[in-house]
């Protein structure tokens, strides 16, 4: 098998050196050296690239601001609707109890308690179990 031999003169004292370089860059704008090349090839390109990155950052920040505002509104609406449901159910329970209807009054009272304490029970007890099931057993060890 002649193919497995080193080139002539590279026995025990000689060797082959192979060097590989890999450069990687990730980001919204190029490296400074690349900026100079863009500007050299197309005058004004560096400014256009910077404006594009600035516009993208402004857009992303606007989207995050809207998402945060939406979350706040959603949270407040949930609280307001829970209070309305609680108040209405309590009013209904008292009204039915005063008009000699104890069973429907009990149902309205249970509805009021569910509106008041249901979300808290869900967040504290049910939701964490669902998250653990989605993550799997390896997330518990970390």
pLDDT tens per residue, range 38-95 = 889 999 988 999 999 999 999 999 999 999 999 899 888 888 888 888 888 889 889 9
Residue 116 lies in a domain: yes
**Percent of the chain whose pLDDT exceeds 90:** 21
Kindly give, in sequence order, each residue whose CB lies less than 8 Å from that of residue 53, ignoring residues fewer than 6 positions away: 28, 29
Residue 140 lies in a domain: no
Q: Output the CA torsion 76→80→85→88 (10° steps).
A: 180
Residue 7 lies in a domain: no
Give Cα separations from 92 to 56, 99, 105, 109 (angstroms): 53, 11, 7, 8
Q: 85 is in which domain, residue-wise?
A: 28-133
Question: Bigger pLDDT: 6 or 21?
Answer: 21
Please report the pLDDT score of residue 142 as a whole number: 46
Cα of first residue to Cα of last residue in the chain, in angstroms, is 53
* Whether pLDDT at 9 is above 60: no
For residue 53, which of 35, 40, 41, 75 has the smallest C-alpha distance?
35
Residue 128 lies in a domain: yes
Residue 119 lies in a domain: yes
Residue 41 lies in a domain: yes
* Whether pLDDT at 8 is above 70: no
Residue 15 lies in a domain: no
Q: Structure pTM?
A: 0.49
Q: How many domains does the chain have?
A: 1
Which of the 8 DSSP states describes residue 136?
A: -
Residue 109 lies in a domain: yes
Residue showing tokens 């100079």: 36
């Amino acid at each position: 098998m002649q193919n497995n031999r080193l080139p002539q003169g590279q026995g025990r004292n000689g060797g082959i050196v192979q060097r590989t370089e890999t450069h990687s860059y990730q980001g919204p704008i190029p490296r400074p050296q690349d900026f100079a090349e863009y500007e050299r090839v197309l005058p004004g390109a560096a400014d256009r690239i910077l404006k594009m990155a600035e516009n993208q950052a402004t857009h992303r920040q606007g989207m995050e601001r809207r998402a945060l505002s939406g979350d706040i509104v959603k949270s407040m609406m949930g609280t307001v609707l829970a209070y309305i449901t609680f108040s209405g159910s309590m009013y209904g329970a008292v009204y039915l109890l005063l008009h000699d209807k104890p069973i429907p009054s009990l149902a309205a009272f249970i509805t009021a308690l569910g509106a008041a304490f249901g979300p808290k029970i869900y967040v504290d007890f049910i939701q964490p179990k669902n998250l653990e099931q989605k993550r799997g057993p390896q997330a518990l060890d970390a």
